[in-house]
Amino acid sequence: MDFVNKIFRGDRVVWMIFMFLCLISIVEVYSASSTLTYRANYWEPIGRHTMFLLVGTAVVLIAHSVKPKYFSILAVMVPIAWGLLIVTKVMGNSVNGADRWLSIGGITFQPSELAKLSLIVFTAFVLSKHKEKDPKDKCFFWIMGFSIPTCTIILLDNFSTAALLFVTIYIMMFIGQISGKRILQLTGLMFIVLSLFVSCLIFVPSDTINKIFPRGVTWKERIKDFNHDKKDITDSTIAFSDDNYQVSHSKIAITRGGVFGKMPGNSLERDFLPQAYSDFIFAIIIEEMGFLGGIFVLLLYVILFIRAGIIANRCERIFPKYLVIGSALIIVSQALANMAVAVNLIPVTGQPLPLISRGGTSTLITCVYVGIILSVSRFENPKGIQREVAIALESEEEKREANEIAFEEENINAGEY
């Protein structure tokens, strides 16, 4: 037990949530990856995913051992992320019409995940330098100067990721006490831009949009399908098509789950949902674990957010405080977006469920966020600091006892000779 306490330091509640999410992920991805087993070795899908979770756990252990002040180095990676995003747009791997993946040296990853992490760290760093009585609001313009280009480049292929990232930065600025006037101006501008954007998607013909911005056609169809699914229809008029295929099977999965679910491994809809192990894994969780299982998963993310808020509130330094807030916000907002899609509250976004959905880059970067939260709880939280001191004293005591035993053994051996 002492060994475990020395390895897994930081907030124990966050560690428990992390372990629960990883355990649920292994069980549900193994069950939901049934369609992948026809194209590969039976154990390959879950083996690959488990490997990423193990590497992710190592990433958490490494990150939570780094003092929060050193994470500020990641802020300088924002321009590098811009370059990678542009290169991805030019020569990236296209999946479902979106250029989101880049291969370097045989390793495929999503530069947008790196951009999210670096921008959140940059925003936390700038907010830590913010002065409430700054008449020029330099911090606001610095944040916007880096956020707008980052979100715009991501927006070209991934609207939902860009939107979630921008909302996270917006909330961080609000909490960071940026001028209320600037926040209101930004809110109004966001409303106008979003209204014009959605209006263009709805009223401009698809052929015209396709000539200017092909990805916009996909977004337009998703909005149209979402509005169509909200219409009152009877069971006799339901017809499966390419437009409503995913959402319809997601609804069936949720309906089949009931209160207690069909138990892991007994899902039927996993064989019909194309992204059962990723975008729609929450529907499979409800089908197999029931309404109670779905609520349990939701509560894990809610508790993580609350716990992160408590950790941030106890921080005496400003940078770690905003770093924890940003890390928790991006994890929880992405989780809520995934769940909302599964229950058809918002149009399909393509956002994975953090630490549960099958993935590579997303899983590892999420583990970095968790590691950051644990690092702050370890080095900036009064209780965490007390625990670190206690462990250090125990280590010194153990070293002293070991030296005494070694000294006694040397004396005994010397006496024998």
In a domain? residue 413: no
Domain around 372: 2-407
Cβ proximity of 102 and 88 under 8 Å: yes
In a domain? residue 415: no
Structural tokens at position 396: 């010194």
Cβ proximity of 318 and 127 under 8 Å: yes
Cβ proximity of 257 and 292 under 8 Å: no
Structural tokens at position 201: 């998607």
Number of H helices, E strands in the chain: 15, 3
In a domain? residue 272: yes
How remote is the C-alpha of 353 from its chain's centroid?
7
**Position of tokens 């309404």?**
291
- Structure confidence at residue 236 (pLDDT): 45
Q: Which of 250, 211, 249 is nearest to 342 (CA)?
A: 250
Cβ proximity of 151 and 160 under 8 Å: no
Cβ proximity of 143 and 118 under 8 Å: no
Global model pTM greater than 0.75: yes
| Helix (H/G/I), strand (E/B), else coil: 99 | strand
What lies within 8 Å, CB to CB, of 309 at 6+ separation is 325, 328
- In total, how many domains does the chain have? 1
Q: Which residues of the chain have pLDDT under 50?
A: 232-236, 406-407, 417
- Structure confidence at residue 14 (pLDDT): 95
- What's the one-letter identity of residue 313? N
pLDDT digits (tens, 9 = 90+) for 38-76: 666 667 778 888 999 999 999 999 999 999 999 999 999
Neighbouring C-beta atoms of residue 43, cutoff 10 Å:
11
Measured CA to CA, the distance from residue 146 to residue 150 in angstroms comes to 6
Structural tokens at position 10: 């930081």
Rg (CA), the chain: 24
b/e per residue, 205-223, with b = 16+ CB within 10 A? eeeebeeeeebbbbbbbbe
| Conformation bin of residue 40: beta by default, left when phi > 0, alpha when psi is -120 to 50 | beta
In a domain? residue 416: no
Measured CA to CA, the distance from residue 347 to residue 199 in angstroms comes to 16
- What's the one-letter identity of residue 145? G
Cβ proximity of 341 and 349 under 8 Å: yes
pLDDT digits (tens, 9 = 90+) for 237-283: 555 555 567 778 888 888 888 888 899 888 888 888 877 888 889 99
- Structure confidence at residue 338 (pLDDT): 92
**What does the DSSP 8-state code read for residue 109?**
E
| Helix (H/G/I), strand (E/B), else coil: 177 | coil
**CB-based burial label for 391 (10 Å; 0-12, 13-18, 19+):** middle
Measured CA to CA, the distance from residue 24 to residue 298 in angstroms comes to 12
Measured CA to CA, the distance from residue 308 to residue 310 in angstroms comes to 5
User: Among positive and negative, which fits the CA dihedral 12, 14, 15, 17?
Assistant: positive
Measured CA to CA, the distance from residue 382 to residue 400 in angstroms comes to 27
Q: Which of 326, 323, 305 is nearest to 375 (CA)?
A: 323
Measured CA to CA, the distance from residue 264 to residue 374 in angstroms comes to 31
Backbone angles phi, psi at 67, to 5 degrees: -65, 140
What lies within 8 Å, CB to CB, of 207 at 6+ separation is none
| Helix (H/G/I), strand (E/B), else coil: 332 | helix
In a domain? residue 414: no
- Structure confidence at residue 380 (pLDDT): 85
Residues in the chain: 417
